[in-house]
Amino acid sequence: MRGTLLLVALSVSWLSLSPAGASVNSGAAPGTLPRLMLWAWERPTDLRALDQGVGVAFLAQTLILRNDAVRAEPRRNPLRVSAHTPLVAVTRIESGGGAAALQAPQVAAMGAAIARTAALPRVAGVQIDFDAAASEHEVYRALIHAVRRQLPDAMPLSVTALASWCAGDRWMHGLPIDEAVPMLFQIGPEHTPFAGIAASPVAAAPECRGALGTSLDEPLRVRAAGRRVYVFNAAAWTPASVSRARAVLE
């Protein structure tokens, strides 16, 4: 079989490598992520044709908070990439607004679960995807600190960010993160205030100036301007849609 088959097993935060018995490097070149990253969400995904200038940020697990309990849902669909593709392990958090009630032991456990994704095969970065409500910001700050403490020093820590967090709401200031990725999509017709961020990094808060997130099906035009770009695709990735993602860097 050409390329490498990565599968998240049924236990949280584990990837297996095919063929069986192959050697696994669990710390591939931190700090060398490419400028173009494709988000690979929960569907079977084959990106073995990518060249060395493109990386993949894949959903590794979802942490779901319900009734003061946290349940981990691992990725269940295969992700196929070649051996040279840099990977970022993404943890999605779904709280329903209940994260504000989390206690310190729960936050610590969540931080440990997220940090463990750094040990998955060839992962070169860790990303948290959490649309935290204002009431959850304090807990989210504590969670980010917990993750950072448990990651290798050189492992990049990325977070996705609502566009509003990068355009005036400075609650992320001072967090131990390597990048905040303003998500410039799914923001509806009220996106005009965020057009400046889409056009230039200097329009964003300092922590949001190194990266941006966009989607192939969104009308808001973005300009990379030297930033790392994460691209979401609501449909399956194909050679044609990868080419469209590349155009964002132009």
Structure confidence at residue 8 (pLDDT) = 34
* 206 DSSP 8-state letter: G
- Across 45-184, where does the E strand assignment appear? 45-47, 54-66, 69-74, 79-81, 87-94, 123-129, 157-162, 179-183
CA dist., res. 162 & res. 155, Å (int): 23
Q: What are phi and psi of 110, to 5 degrees?
A: -65, -40
Sign of CA dihedral 97, 57, 227, 207: positive
Contact 43, 114 (CB under 8 A): no
Q: Which residues lie across from 161 on neighbouring strands?
A: 182
Single out the residue of 75, 99, 98 nearest to residue 87, CA to CA.
75
Single out the residue of 194, 238, 188, 181 nearest to residue 218, CA to CA.
188
* Residue 212 DSSP SS3: strand
Structure confidence at residue 13 (pLDDT) = 32
Structure confidence at residue 168 (pLDDT) = 77
Q: What is the mean pLDDT of residues 135-163?
A: 95
CA dist., res. 6 & res. 26, Å (int): 13
Q: What are phi and psi of 95, to 5 degrees?
A: -115, -20
Q: How confident is the model at residue 174 (pLDDT cuts 50, 70, 90)?
A: very high
CA dist., res. 237 & res. 161, Å (int): 23
Of 8-12, 37-41, 86-90, 176-180, minimum mean pLDDT range: 8-12
Distances (CA, A) of 190 to 1, 60, 84, 185: 47, 31, 40, 11
Q: What is the mean pLDDT of residues 19-31?
A: 34
Q: What is the mean pLDDT of residues 142-164?
A: 95
User: Which pTM was predicted?
Assistant: 0.87
| pLDDT tens readout for residues 132-148 | 999 999 999 999 999 99
Specify the fold of 4-247.
Answer: TIM Barrel (3.20.20)
Q: How confident is the model at residue 11 (pLDDT cuts 50, 70, 90)?
A: very low
Q: What are phi and psi of 112, to 5 degrees?
A: -65, -40
Query: Where in the chain are the domains?
Result: 4-247
CA dist., res. 161 & res. 183, Å (int): 6
Per-residue tokens: 226: 């030297």
| pLDDT tens readout for residues 206-228 | 999 999 999 998 767 888 889 99
